[in-house]
Structure 1
Amino acid sequence: MKKLVFCIALAGCASAIPDQPTTRIDFTAPETYPEGVVYDSISNVYFVSSARLGSIGKVSAQGTYSPLINDPTFKSSYGLKVHPDGKRLFACIGDANYSKFTSPDTRKKMSRLIGIDILTGKKTDDIDLSKLVPGQHFANDLVFDHQQNAYVTDSFANVIYKITPGGNASVFADSPLFKTEGIGLNGIVYHPSGYLLTVSSGTGTIYKIELNNPKKISKVMTEQFFMNGDGLLLTSNDTLVVVQNGGSDKIYELTSKDNWSSAKLSASTLVADRFTYPSTATLVKDKIFVMNAKFSELTDSTSVPSKIFAIQHARLMPLPK
């Protein structure tokens, strides 16, 4: 009898699971392969980066793409954040892997944090991060704290940089825990309790770094590793969204009850949503939207470069407790 009841309940649950992909905002931007996305509530547009061309554009809610800045020195643009002043957009700039304009003098060497006036599209800030530590560089993602300091992950050097409001850059956090082959530290968020959370694509681990003592670094204990973890989004003090690509192509929600000493999986997207190499996430009112970067095409020599890309709603379905 118990088995029959269980089967009926399961069948009822299965019938309630959506079988169609979620809402997409399609936009035409040939060969851009946008990795970063951030929604600006003031102008009601999405800003998107370009790993292929380095350009930065904006996408309306109706799916109209228009350029914000095209700078020939921007080989690739990745993570994006609107500055707390609401007037500037900041972008991670480099030449890590997919740039159409790569050159020997910048390949895996260039690492910059760029500020752009949202209204005019003019460059306001240009901070060189490539000389702070030796080796290869890949400025990948950034976040601001409550004092308007910026923190940038370097996915090749596997350090976190700190840039003050005045533009002074330094190495904020460097640890043997961060070291890995290939792409390491990636998405990063600021927690109002005074620490950073970042995920390593290479180790699949989420790390917690105290702002007042950056040598105090700990692993957030989770039920699984997030290999190829990319963008992070803190939707509340105890809820974190993790974007995972590299074959999984899913978005997960984690919740913590102990100030991010540990976390449990609470929700995820469905295979039916058919994300195409999701990279970063942004909050639009109470909904999460994710960029489909389509990077798998860039490693396939037979692929025809895409003209159309999509920002997609991430429908997080609660997982059984």
Structure 2
Amino acid sequence: MPSSESILSVFLFVLVGFLPTPSSARKRHVINFRSPGLYPEGLTWDPSGNHFIVGSLHHRTIHSVSDAGVVQTLISDPDLPENATILGLAIDSARGRLLAVIHSAPPLPSFNALAAYDLHRSGDGGRRIFLSPLPTIPGEGRDVANDVTVDFRGNAYVTNSGKNFIWKVDREGGASIFSRSPLFTSQPMTAERDAVYADCGLNGIVYVSRGYLLVVQSNTGKMFRVEEDEGRARVVGVKGELTAADGMALRGDGVVMVVSQEKVWFVKSDDSWSGGVVYEEREVERDGMATAVVTAGEEERVYVLYGRVTEGMTGNQSREWFGIEEVWTEEEGVWLYVLLGLALAYFGFWRFQMKRLITHLDKKTL
């Protein structure tokens, strides 16, 4: 009669052989898409169209990218300044709008605006709802409209990476300066700051439904909480610095993802963002020059955009292929160990019951 140890070995072999693993259940989603000279910096997810949306460095166009890498032009707006860059993107799902930050970089004349387009009529070149120039403040430096988020009322908030303040654009297109907190200009720059981001201040921004914004600053590595009613700001006490932080995304469970050209930080808070902790980091492909991070689909999978913008800013227009890639975390494999633990517990219970049964049969035989 086989020993219980032999039975255990066979059982575990069969169990492990049939249990799904992260690699066998599904592969990490990698999308390579072709669009010559695009160099996209902004990325968002459109749940109504079930596709990603990317901007462009010089083309005055906005494109959808399917999960298979099929690219279609959603918006082509010849009224934008020639060679204008389309940076941050956000979906206003409640009103069926796509919000896009427009910026003209040197040596072009300064231009900063927020455009809103009708998502339901994007196939015919895109019906523009408004194009709102963003007001400036006299002083040194150049305005750089960068990223955008939207609240449940349809108000948009746009970061100014050059002069370190936040604009607000209401749903009718009325633009104003929303927050000029002195905290934005009083933080020490990070000693290890990336030279590319030395002059880049406020950058990625997300809206939290409890009534405030979270925004990161590239050249200081700081995160701020900004109240939506008055624009008051305070520094979020995140342990460590988010060096050269760029885009942000907010997951349904409250976790914030922040991307740089080297890694994605997963940050959480248990005190409404008075403080925060980086509980996981994932490296990204530095050559891809990641600038944006989003969550996509019902499972809220995390993706980064490899738009190689820095390469495009040097005047290179020859690249044809770009990428959107899923970022896996340690959470992806946790469920496997849970299942294995449950299986072992079940086997232990089965073995105990079998032993009792055999003992009972032996007594009857005697």
Question: Do both share a fold (TM > 0.5)?
Answer: yes
CA distance in 2, matches of 1:305, 1:227: 30
Instruction: Tell me, yes or no, if the aligned pair for 1:132 and 1:170 is still in contact at 8 Å.
Output: no
Aligned CA distance change for structure 1 residues 290 and 92 (closer, same or farther; 3 Å): same
Aligned CA distance change for structure 1 residues 132 and 38 (closer, same or farther; 3 Å): same
Larger Rg: 2
Q: 2:128 aligns with which of 123, 129, 142?
A: 123
What is the match of residue 68 of structure 1? 74
Q: What percent identity do the matched residue pairs reach?
A: 30
User: 1:275: Cα distance to partner?
Assistant: 6.8
CA distance in 2, matches of 1:270, 1:156: 27
Aligned CA distance change for structure 1 residues 278 and 76 (closer, same or farther; 3 Å): same
Q: Which moved more, 1:73-82 or 1:123-132?
A: 123-132
What is the match of residue 12 of structure 2? none
User: 1:192: Cα distance to partner?
Assistant: 1.2
Q: What residue identity is the alignment partner of 2:103?
A: G
What is the match of residue 252 of structure 1? 265
Aligned CA distance change for structure 1 residues 54 and 157 (closer, same or farther; 3 Å): farther
What is the match of residue 95 of structure 1? 104
Instruction: Tell me, yes or no, if the aligned pair for 1:54 and 1:71 is still in contact at 8 Å.
Output: yes
Matched ranges for 1:135-284 at <5 A: 135-179=141-185, 182-214=199-231, 216-236=232-252, 238-245=254-261, 249-270=262-283, 276-284=288-296
User: 1:115: Cα distance to partner?
Assistant: 1.0
Instruction: Tell me, yes or no, if the aligned pair for 1:297 and 1:305 is still in contact at 8 Å.
Output: no
Instruction: Tell me, yes or no, if the aligned pair for 2:136 and 2:143 is still in contact at 8 Å.
Output: no
Instruction: Tell me, yes or no, if the aligned pair for 1:37 and 1:49 is still in contact at 8 Å.
Output: yes
Q: Which moved more, 1:48-57 or 1:187-196?
A: 48-57
For these two proteins, the number of residue pairs brought into alignment is: 287
Q: What residue identity is the alignment partner of 1:125?
A: F
Q: Give me the TM-score of the superposition, normalised by structure 1.
A: 0.82
Aligned CA distance change for structure 1 residues 170 and 299 (closer, same or farther; 3 Å): closer
User: 1:68: Cα distance to partner?
Assistant: 1.7
CA distance in 1, matches of 2:317, 2:128: 32
Q: Which moved more, 1:190-199 or 1:63-72?
A: 63-72
User: 1:129: Cα distance to partner?
Assistant: 0.1
CA distance in 2, matches of 1:234, 1:296: 25
Does the residue aligned with 2:154 lie in a helix, a strand or coil? Answer: coil
Q: Quick check: 1:313 aligned with 2:326? A: yes
Aligned CA distance change for structure 1 residues 196 and 77 (closer, same or farther; 3 Å): same
Instruction: Tell me, yes or no, if the aligned pair for 1:191 and 1:237 is still in contact at 8 Å.
Output: no
What is the match of residue 43 of structure 1? 49
User: 1:139: Cα distance to partner?
Assistant: 1.1
Deviations 1:131-185 (A, max 9, x none): 4665511111111112111111011121101111122111110022212761110
What is the match of residue 5 of structure 1? none
CA distance in 2, matches of 1:155, 1:241: 19
Q: What residue identity is the alignment partner of 1:281?
A: V
Of Structure 1 and Structure 2, the greater strand share is in: 1
CA distance in 2, matches of 1:133, 1:163: 20
User: 1:69: Cα distance to partner?
Assistant: 2.1
Does the residue aligned with 2:203 lie in a helix, a strand or coil? Answer: strand
Of Structure 1 and Structure 2, the greater helix share is in: 2
CA distance in 2, matches of 1:237, 1:44: 21
Q: Give me the TM-score of the superposition, normalised by structure 2.
A: 0.72
Q: Which moved more, 1:234-243 or 1:28-37?
A: 234-243
CA distance in 2, matches of 1:182, 1:132: 17
CA distance in 2, matches of 1:154, 1:296: 19
Aligned CA distance change for structure 1 residues 238 and 66 (closer, same or farther; 3 Å): closer
CA distance in 2, matches of 1:34, 1:163: 23
Instruction: Tell me, yes or no, if the aligned pair for 2:282 and 2:329 is still in contact at 8 Å.
Output: yes
Instruction: Tell me, yes or no, if the aligned pair for 1:268 and 1:317 is still in contact at 8 Å.
Output: no
What is the match of residue 113 of structure 1? 114
Aligned CA distance change for structure 1 residues 299 and 213 (closer, same or farther; 3 Å): closer
User: 1:297: Cα distance to partner?
Assistant: 2.1
Matched ranges for 1:25-36 at <5 A: 25-36=31-42
CA distance in 2, matches of 1:51, 1:300: 11
Aligned CA distance change for structure 1 residues 164 and 189 (closer, same or farther; 3 Å): same
Q: What residue identity is the alignment partner of 2:222?
A: T
Does the residue aligned with 2:114 lie in a helix, a strand or coil? Answer: strand
Deviations 1:28-47 (A, max 9, x none): 01111111111111111211
